[in-house]
Amino acid sequence: MEKRELTCIGCPMGCQITVELDKAEVVSVTGNTCAIGDKYARNEVTHPERTVTSTAVILGGDKPRVSVKTKSNIPKDKIYEVMKEIDAAVMQAPVHIGDVVVKNVCGTGVDVVATREVAAV
């Protein structure tokens, strides 16, 4: 039986979680204080994921950059690929929160969306 100690990142509580694994199968998850922790721990030991946040170039706006995020988590090992596609994106103002900046980024099935309102000038 393998034991893995994790710090939950589901919220700023940062619960200390212990996962017991038997041949890559999760046997038990303890130490979490909510369902997010259970889910996070199971994912983190099998297929770790992250939300990527960054900024993209925007033309004709009242701000020089528009902040963006992946709408949900993407595989952790794709972070740098996702960053490259975000860096290549060019937006045109106006942009609203939730507008798609990169569709289906790196084939993950996840969109990169704007997280800020940028008005056209």
Partner 1 sequence: MTNYDIVIVGGGPAGLAAAVSARKAGVEKILILERDKELGGILNQCIHNGFGLHTFKEELTGPEYAYRFIEQVLDAKIEYKLNTMVMDISEDRVVTAMSREDGMYQIKAGAVILAMGCRERPRGALNIPGYRPAGIFSAGTAQRLVNIEGYMPGREVVILGSGDIGLIMARRMTLEGAKVKVVAELMPYSGGLKRNIVQCLDDFNIPLKLSHTVVDIEGKEHLTAVTIAAVDNKGKPIPGTEERYTCDTLLLSCGLIPENELSRNAGVEMSNITSGPIVNESLETNIPGVFACGNVLHVHDLVDYVSEEATRAGENAAKFINGQLKESNGEDIEIIATEGARYTVPSTINVDRMDDKLTVRFRVGAVFKNSYVSVYFDDERVMHNKKRIMAPGEMEQVILLKDKLAAKPDLKKITVKIEAE
Q: Provide the binding-site residues for partner 1, judged by CB under 8 A.
A: 7-12, 14, 16, 50-55, 57, 63-65, 67-69, 76, 79-80, 83, 97, 115-117
State how far the alpha carbon of 98 is from the alpha carbons of 16, 33, 41, 70, in Å. Answer: 33, 30, 28, 10
> Nearest distance from residue 23's CB to partner 1, in Å?
25
**Main-chain dihedrals φ then ψ at residue 88, nearest 5 degrees:** -80, -15
Nearer Cβ to partner 1 (16/28): 16
Nearer Cβ to partner 1 (24/35): 35
Contact 7, 14 (CB under 8 A): yes
Q: Which of 43, 46, 50 is nearest to 82 (CA)?
A: 50
Nearer Cβ to partner 1 (21/83): 83
Nearer Cβ to partner 1 (22/78): 78
> Nearest distance from residue 116's CB to partner 1, in Å?
4
> Nearest distance from residue 79's CB to partner 1, in Å?
7
User: Using CB atoms within 10 A of its CB, is residue 75 exposed (0-12), middle (13-18) or buried (19+)?
Assistant: middle
